[in-house]
Amino acid sequence: MLATITIDINPVAFNLGSLAVHWYGICYVAAFVVAYLVARRHLLARGFTEDRLERLAGWTIVFGLIGARLYYDVQNLNLMHSPVDVIAVWNGGMAFYGAIIAGLATLLVMGWRWRLPIWTLLDGGAFFAVAGQPIGRIGNIINGDILGGPSNLPWATAYTNPGAVLQAGFVRGVAYQPAAVYEALGTLVILLVLLALRRRNVRPGVVIITYVALYSVSQLSLDFLRWSEPVLWLGLKELQLTAIPTLVLVVPVMIVIWRRTAGRATMPEPAERGSVPGPDGRIGEEPPDDAADDGGTTRDEPAAEPPMEAAVPDLDGS
């Protein structure tokens, strides 16, 4: 048998009195911080204000966490023996597909409510998701709750700590395929693709559509190596059964809507204070009190330039 990687890390990082602080939670906090910084940089450069971003991030994180846990619960109904099991995130168990669904829904609702450019906002959400997920997977690697089949590959992982969060059927000391590592690496590849698209100055909406498509492809393929979730139908697991309709239905619908809106926001023009671009073009700032009725500019200042996405070139560079 070839040498494998032994992981003997206690999932509990430290204790604060009776409160156990898990590496899983620490990794999620770190993931949120990094994800916010990446999305913030993208959206600030496109006219969003700091106040808007903080509120958007807060609500998206809250509902994303709820969605991630509920999706995991649906995947693992056999593990739900009591109401506590439904929320027992300290034992691992956050399905990222649920976070994507809930997070995108939150951004759509808040974007509609605040009259924000939806495609630009969703692109920021894509960067938030793709930047944070690999860091969150580190918590899964420490826990041992996302594993493939037994293996003797040099990078196979064997868990020896008594606190390892191994799913039913997995045994301490036995080396398994590190499925969580594969998913983290897959997400990093998607991140590189999205960064390359941004450098090409593609239209708003291309990033989020590409992310949803590539993430679905990664889940459909990599989940064959993931043995820690049950097979539901036709040899496929729940994530795969979600990925297929996403690729067949959701992505084409997104493309159709994107083409009809030419990559612009699908929202009507804002009519309330605090939701229109300010005199410097920044979204979310209130117009000045002495603004004239002819577009919100003062008599002494020229009209603000149009939003950035209006000047973004087409995918072919034209």
pLDDT digits (tens, 9 = 90+) for 88-140: 655 556 676 677 788 888 888 888 888 889 999 999 999 998 998 899 899 88
Instruction: Write the pLDDT tens digit of every residue in 180-238.
Output: 999 999 999 999 999 999 999 899 999 999 999 999 999 899 988 888 777 778 888 87
287 lies in a domain?
Answer: no
pLDDT score at 262: 65
Per-residue pLDDT tens for 134-192?
998 998 899 888 898 899 888 999 999 998 888 878 888 899 999 999 999 999 999 99
Q: Is residue 282 part of a domain?
A: no
Mean pLDDT score across all residues of the chain: 78
Which comes out higher in pLDDT, residue 31 or 230? 31
Q: Is residue 292 part of a domain?
A: no
Does residue 8 lie within any of the structural domains?
A: no
Residue 205 domain-assigned (yes or no) = yes
Model confidence at 38, pLDDT cuts 50, 70, 90, reads very high
If you search the block for the tokens 């690729």, which residue do you land on? 247
pTM for the full model?
A: 0.74
Extended beta strands in 103-240, E state: 157-159, 175-176
Please, are residues 58 and 104 in contact by the beta-carbon 8 Å criterion?
no
Q: Are 128 and 38 in contact (CB under 8 A)?
A: yes
Domain range for 235: 22-260
Distance CA 187, CA 316 (A): 26
Residue 304 lies in a domain: no
Q: Over the stretch 286-299, which tens digit does the pLDDT of each residue have?
A: 444 444 444 444 44
Instruction: Answer yes or no: is 90 within a domain.
Output: yes
For residue 16, the cross-strand partners are 19
The helix (H) or strand (E) run that includes residue 13 is strand 12-16
pLDDT of residue 285: 47
186 part of a folded domain: yes
- The Cα-based distances of 214 to 69, 99, 136, 229, 240 in angstroms read 22, 16, 19, 21, 13
Asked whether residue 317 carries a pLDDT value surpassing 80, the answer given is: no
- Number of structural domains in the chain: 1
